[in-house]
Amino acid sequence: MSPGLLILLIIIFIAALAGTIVAFKQEERKLKKYEEEGDSIEDQLRRSHEYETSSLKSNVPLLLIIYTITIVLSLIVFAVYII
């Protein structure tokens, strides 16, 4: 494998990793905010229901985009390597 393709794959991997970390940090900030506000059983239940609905609207699409781009670019690099 040529060094250029290897470098490109490494860059793609780092970009996917960075995107995943960004999504993780968003959730981490939410948890810290909840801890600062106080934590009752009712609040936990409300947040649990909120997370179930909002996660599918925010986190899943973000991660889907990140990994779709990563897979497509990796396949393109692989095709270039084969040709």
Interval 1-18 mean pLDDT: 84
Nearest to 15 by CA among 62, 68, 77, 66: 66
Return d(Cα 32, Cα 51) in angstroms, integer.
15
Q: How confident is the model at residue 5 (pLDDT cuts 50, 70, 90)?
A: confident
Give me the helices (H) in the chain, please: 3-37, 41-57, 59-82
32: its two tokens: 């810290």
- Going 6 to 82 to 19 to 23, the CA torsion angle's sign is negative
pLDDT score at 35: 80
pLDDT digit string, tens, across residues 20-72: 898 888 888 888 887 887 777 887 888 788 877 877 777 778 888 888 988 89
Measure CA 19 to chain center. Answer: 5
Cβ(23)–Cβ(62) below 8 Å: yes
pLDDT score at 34: 78
